[in-house]
Structure 1
Amino acid sequence: MANMQENQVVNHKDKYHRAKLWQIGLFSLNNAATNLYLFGFGFVSFYSTGLLGLTALIISQLLGYIRIFDGFIDPGLGALIDKFDSKFGKYRPLIVIGNIITAISFIILFQTHLVSDGWKFPVLILALIVHKIGYSLQASVTKAGQAALTSDPKQRPIFSMFDGIFTALIFTGGQYFVTNFIYPKFNEYSSAFFAEFIPMIIVTSAVLTVLAVIGISAKDRIEYFGIGENNAEIKLRDYWPIIKNNRPLQTLAMAGAFVKLNTQLFSDQVTQMLIFGILFGSYQLSGQISLIMVVPNILISMAASAVARNKGLKWSYVTWLKIGTAFLVALGFLVWQAQPGMLDFGNLTFYSVSFVIAYMCGRQFSTSPSGLILTMAADVCDYETSESGHYVSGMMGTIFSLTDSIASSLAPMSIGWVLAAFGYGAAYPDETTALTPELRWVALIILVLIPLTANILALTFMKFYTLDRETMENIQTKLSEMRDAKDAKEAELIAATEEI
């Protein structure tokens, strides 16, 4: 605990600069603020089919293409972050601007049904584009700001611990709150439902954003950016060589993309409806199981952070994926046997207990590494600084967002494709839809087969990721020498001549 409370003043005799525990906790709320919008965005499918009259296949493909657009604007946002500077710092203004843009996009997006018929689709497209710009800007700072927050390899995983707690509260606690308090008031995703739900998202996210700004404020200064005044000047032509030559960036970004795909698949509201509303016959079960999962999910996230502090981030990342893969196999057998009424928390059976354990562990161990990526992005950024002298936290963060966005675009698109392949392309199934052999296959493919494939691919890429705990300690030693160099030229010489 003493390390966590270390004074944050840069001491060049110490190779690390550290943050206080409360700073790490508050800054992690920036990811919580954007995750709230990600949770709310999961209801766009039902809004679009129910209030705008779009088919399930059209909206699933549209949401996929919008995420691809999001991915391609991310590198530009990364360059903006790297170049941006103001009297209020590099990161804080961008956090606030991103949150404001995202709030405006949600206000427009969920009012589209009030627009005349000829303008509904263009306004929807515009709102989705604006949303992705604001969301990506704020979310990119979460990854970019990691390197400035702390450089201590033992302290960095603490961010993942906080983030895991808040992510569990948002996605599992939020699911329970919606399905057991808001949805039952209306029994449909109506305009009245969204009129109550969306303002909650906007206001809560704004409060979390203010707290995140407070958390990063003392660290949002040049002395915490890479090697400080000795950072090499970055130009646009430098970006491609960095992307081409940085192997840890390439491998981690690809592995993270497949984990992100799993995260999107499990949290998608259509998936929740398929599992609980159709396989087991009660959509409210999704909220109840989410409530059951809150504490175990938090404990799993805390365990991942504790393991990462002792074994390193890479070891924790790979181990969690392996455990998740094993539980997904078990989940597949249980999904194949599922019938309406078999999952009843008021009358526990061997099957229901087995399903809860397999679902909870398969989902959490397969998706919690996405929280570790936020911290590992800082390791990749430090690796690049040690190799070239360039501090490009913004570009690093948005490269991860690029692969995240492209992979996560496959989530709604895959759901739409699978449903259409089994004859459900016109409308999403709901609680009134009878369980058929075709829908069982849909659930098995979306809930088990795709996540299993994603886990195996992520593990394959992680075999080529070299930034383990020992390597990161060597990198921080090298960065300390570069920081103490008399000027940027000497720092570049150290980067070019000293091996890690």
Structure 2
Amino acid sequence: MAKQKKPLYDPETGIHRAKLWEIALYALNNSSTNIYMMAFMYVTYFLTGFCGVGVVLAGTITTIMRIWDGVTDPFVGMIVDKTNTRFGKNRPFIIIGNVILFVTSGIIYHVTPNLPMAARFPFYIVMYMLYIIGYTCQCVVTKSAQSCLTNDPEQRPYFTIFDSAYNTIIFAVLPVYVTGTLVPKYGGAAAFTTAAFFQELWLFCGVISAIAACMAVIALRRKDRTEFFGTGQAQKIGFKDYVDVISHNRAIQMLVVNASTDKLASSMMSSSVIMVMLYGIICGNYAQYGLMSAATSIPVVVGGMLVIRLVASRMGQKTGMLVGTYVSMASSIGIFLLFLLGDPKSLDVGMANGLNFFTAAYIALYVIKGSFNAMSGGLVIPMTADCADYEVYRTGKYVPGLMGTLFSFVDKLISSLAGTFVSLMIAVIGFTTTQPTQDTPYSAGIFWVTMACFIGAPMVGWICNLVAMHFYPLSKEFMAEIQEKVAEIKRQAQTENA
């Protein structure tokens, strides 16, 4: 007998669901902004090559701009919570944000190199501040629209399935495009000092990001309406409501601790200069970075889908976070021991000389870590929607914009330190005016700095995850109770307005 299909709305429980294709396309909004985030991972090379900025200052500027990014979040979140147009609460911010991203990043890479040297750095700062406003406008929707799209505890983790799949593809395709196409096209190691390299990277990423943003707008068309906004009616939200959330919503407090430390660690781990040091210097062949991303992308996507479906969807998002964290830690320890005791220069993902032990072990551990980390890292976004529902349960206030931007505010303030930390660490081993390239000779200092960022930083982040989840109150059972209470609040509001 075929399994009965669940209705899109259950009036008794108040559970409303999204169509699967809506979740799939909506997740592309996060991909749209992540494409720009990946493209700007190379911005320190742009700053040192075209603006005359030193390595440490370049990393510090990245930190300061991330702080500015965090500062803009609460203001944009407040605007989102007060917005209720004929085009919805969330969709206008996707469009506005993506347009700002495309225009400002294009100006940065096309105009800055043609200005007098003295004007380049100040001009970059101004344009990047405008770029950040667009980034914030689009990013807030990734979290704020979660609660109106679906409030089904079993369905919310599906966002993570699609999001992790898209991000794995992005993080696989872009390095292949950069290392396999752009770097050889623009002179190898000299590519990072060529304006055309950044301009072509901008166009490639900008077009794909715009397409993904349009798909997300289509996905929200049916659900971006007042009846799906928390209590089912427009509300007046004041500053005191924001203070109360920050002070008393334990769920969002713990989620912020979880995500911000995790993001700091992952930003350090995936830094472009760390990838150059890991694959270009320690392994001796930077092209292995692109090959590794391509070879593991599909297994990581499939593995991530399976563990999210089997663990998070069935056992709850909190349990999924814990399981993903434990397995990610274990597999990362295995990778460290492999690099410490094995021969990294034998890494041969293309298997030109056959499959050796180091390559097989590294790929296996990398896929395991990637699959479970996709669950623990990806669940943060739908868990933000749980926190928004918890606030309705706790106070009767629906503030998804605040939830998303409060989360992002602290997240960005802490993760903004990644660029500074990495720059300081490589400066300690002698790289103060230029960054390591694939032509830099191997040294013990390079190995330990790389391991500290690639393995050590994520381990610290995962330990913080475990502590935060110990105090995180939203279990699967409690979320079911919350949705029943929210449904009751909606029914009362409808009765009063009848």
Q: TM-score, with normalisation over the residues of structure 2? A: 0.94
Q: CA deviation at 1:244?
A: 0.4
Alpha-carbon distance in 2 for matches of 1:484, 1:268: 49
Q: CA deviation at 1:318?
A: 0.9
Alpha-carbon distance in 1 for matches of 2:48, 2:63: 15
Show the counterpart of 2:20.
21
Q: CA deviation at 1:242?
A: 1.3
Does residue 1:381 correspond to 2:388, yes or no? yes
Report Cα offsets for 1:51-73 as digits up to 9, x if no partner: 33322111111101111111122
Give the aligned residue type for 1:416: S
Show the counterpart of 2:313.
309
Alpha-carbon distance in 2 for matches of 1:305, 1:354: 24
Alpha-carbon distance in 1 for matches of 2:128, 2:4: 40
Q: Structure 2 vs 1, CA of residues 334 and 78 (structure 1 numbering), >3 Å: closer, same or farther?
A: same
Please list every run of 5 or more consecutive structure 2 residues that lacks an aligned counterpart in the other structure: none
Show the counterpart of 1:341.
345
Show the counterpart of 2:222.
218
Assess if the C-alpha contact under 8 Å between 2:325 and 2:372 holds in 1.
yes
Show the counterpart of 2:165.
165
Show the counterpart of 1:498.
none
Alpha-carbon distance in 1 for matches of 2:199, 2:81: 38
Q: CA deviation at 1:261?
A: 1.9
Alpha-carbon distance in 1 for matches of 2:433, 2:131: 26
Report Cα offsets for 1:168-215 as digits up to 9, x if no partner: 111122212221122221222221212222111111111111110000
Does residue 1:458 correspond to 2:461, yes or no? no
Q: CA deviation at 1:363?
A: 5.0
Bigger mean CA offset, 480-489 vs 96-105: 480-489
Give the aligned residue type for 2:48: T
> Percent same amino acid among aligned pairs?
33
Q: Structure 2 vs 1, CA of residues 22 and 114 (structure 1 numbering), >3 Å: closer, same or farther?
A: same
Show the counterpart of 2:199.
195
Alpha-carbon distance in 2 for matches of 1:366, 1:160: 11
Give the aligned residue type for 1:28: A
Show the counterpart of 1:123.
123
Give the aligned residue type for 1:330: G
Bigger mean CA offset, 29-38 vs 300-309: 300-309
Assess if the C-alpha contact under 8 Å between 2:270 and 2:454 holds in 1.
no
Show the counterpart of 1:482.
489
Q: Structure 2 vs 1, CA of residues 23 and 450 (structure 1 numbering), >3 Å: closer, same or farther?
A: same
Q: CA deviation at 1:399?
A: 1.2
Give the aligned residue type for 1:115: L
Give the aligned residue type for 2:11: H
Give the aligned residue type for 2:197: F
Q: CA deviation at 1:19?
A: 0.8
Alpha-carbon distance in 1 for matches of 2:12, 2:5: 18
Alpha-carbon distance in 1 for matches of 2:142, 2:344: 41
Does residue 1:294 correspond to 2:297, yes or no? yes
Q: CA deviation at 1:395?
A: 0.3
Report Cα offsets for 1:466-490 as digits up to 9, x if no partner: 1011110110111111111146989
Show the counterpart of 2:244.
241
Alpha-carbon distance in 2 for matches of 1:235, 1:337: 58
Give the aligned residue type for 1:102: L
Does residue 1:183 correspond to 2:195, yes or no? no
Q: CA deviation at 1:3?
A: 9.4
Assess if the C-alpha contact under 8 Å between 1:263 and 1:367 holds in 2.
no
Show the counterpart of 1:49.
48
Assess if the C-alpha contact under 8 Å between 2:265 and 2:460 holds in 1.
no
Alpha-carbon distance in 2 for matches of 1:277, 1:338: 17
Q: TM-score, with normalisation over the residues of structure 1? A: 0.93
- RMSD, matched Cα: 2.0
Paired residues, what number?
A: 487
Report Cα offsets for 1:306-336 as digits up to 9, x if no partner: 0211010111111111111111212222232
Q: Structure 2 vs 1, CA of residues 360 and 275 (structure 1 numbering), >3 Å: closer, same or farther?
A: farther
Does residue 1:412 correspond to 2:419, yes or no? yes
Show the counterpart of 1:272.
275
Alpha-carbon distance in 2 for matches of 1:42, 1:169: 17
Assess if the C-alpha contact under 8 Å between 2:95 and 2:138 holds in 1.
yes
Q: Structure 2 vs 1, CA of residues 195 and 37 (structure 1 numbering), >3 Å: closer, same or farther?
A: same
Give the aligned residue type for 2:419: P
Bigger mean CA offset, 338-347 vs 213-222: 338-347
Q: CA deviation at 1:104?
A: 1.5
Q: Structure 2 vs 1, CA of residues 4 and 147 (structure 1 numbering), >3 Å: closer, same or farther?
A: farther
Alpha-carbon distance in 2 for matches of 1:376, 1:469: 11
Q: CA deviation at 1:144?
A: 0.4
Please list every run of 5 or more consecutive structure 1 residues that lacks an aligned counterpart in the other structure: 491-500
Alpha-carbon distance in 2 for matches of 1:242, 1:33: 29
Show the counterpart of 1:87.
86
Alpha-carbon distance in 1 for matches of 2:288, 2:478: 45
Q: CA deviation at 1:368?
A: 4.3
Assess if the C-alpha contact under 8 Å between 1:143 and 1:377 holds in 2.
yes
